[in-house]
Amino acid sequence: DALLGCHRSYRSRPTHGIGKFKYLLPKEAPKKRKEKVQMKEIDAGTEYQYGDVNIQMTSYDLCLVEHFAQYVHRLCNRLSIRVNESYAMPTKTNEVLFMEDRGSKMQLDAVLTTHQRVVQIRGLSSTFAPILLEIIQSSQPEGVHLLMKQHTEADFKSRLKSRPELEELLAEMS
């Protein structure tokens, strides 16, 4: 009979799992799902610790600001300050036009690109914060504008693309 002819290894018998072989094969990497860009929870911080702090460095010079951001990141690593993220904000391009001495035309002078890098840290203690500030200030290169502030949702939203259709629909619905 077909039913009696099947060789089922029962779970208590030593032959259980005799035909398995997948555990011998190399593990396949799981399928990469597109990581959804979700906002991580913003830490408010306690009375003796600052929460999420953004160190934003802006400059016209790309290499300088990149190197400074790397320096700040390594400094935080060395001082065992937790670095949440270290990202770049989108570049802004400005066209500088100036009026000629004689004439009404605006002449193109230069096209400047403003670059910004952000290093986000968490868990900065209140006694160490002024020391860190002092160290970063003393090694601030020329032309790099430093800004330290608390991380807010608006900061995160400024990194995302605008969705005019969604906003239009929402405006129409309400």
Does residue 126 belong to the site contacting other proteins (CB under 8 A)? yes
Does residue 42 belong to the site contacting other proteins (CB under 8 A)? no
Nearer to other proteins, 16 or 163 (CB): 163
Nearer to other proteins, 60 or 83 (CB): 60
Minimum gap (Å) between residue 157 Cβ and other proteins: 8
**Sequence-separated (6 or more) residues with CB below 8 Å from residue 151:** 42, 51, 52, 53, 54, 120
Does residue 139 belong to the site contacting other proteins (CB under 8 A)? yes
Strand duo 106-122 + 145-150: pairing: unpaired
d(CA 54, CA 83): 10
d(CA 145, CA 65): 9
Does residue 82 belong to the site contacting other proteins (CB under 8 A)? no
Does residue 106 belong to the site contacting other proteins (CB under 8 A)? yes
Does residue 152 belong to the site contacting other proteins (CB under 8 A)? no
Minimum gap (Å) between residue 42 Cβ and other proteins: 14
Asked if 64 and 58 touch (Cβ cutoff 8 Å), the reply is: no
**Which structure tokens are listed for 159?**
């990194």
**Which structure tokens are listed for 31?**
């399928």
**Sequence-separated (6 or more) residues with CB below 8 Å from residue 90:** 159
Contact positions vs other proteins (CB under 8 A): 34, 36-38, 45, 47-50, 53, 59, 62, 79, 88-99, 101, 106, 109, 111, 115, 126-131, 133-135, 137, 139-150, 159-166, 169-170, 172-173
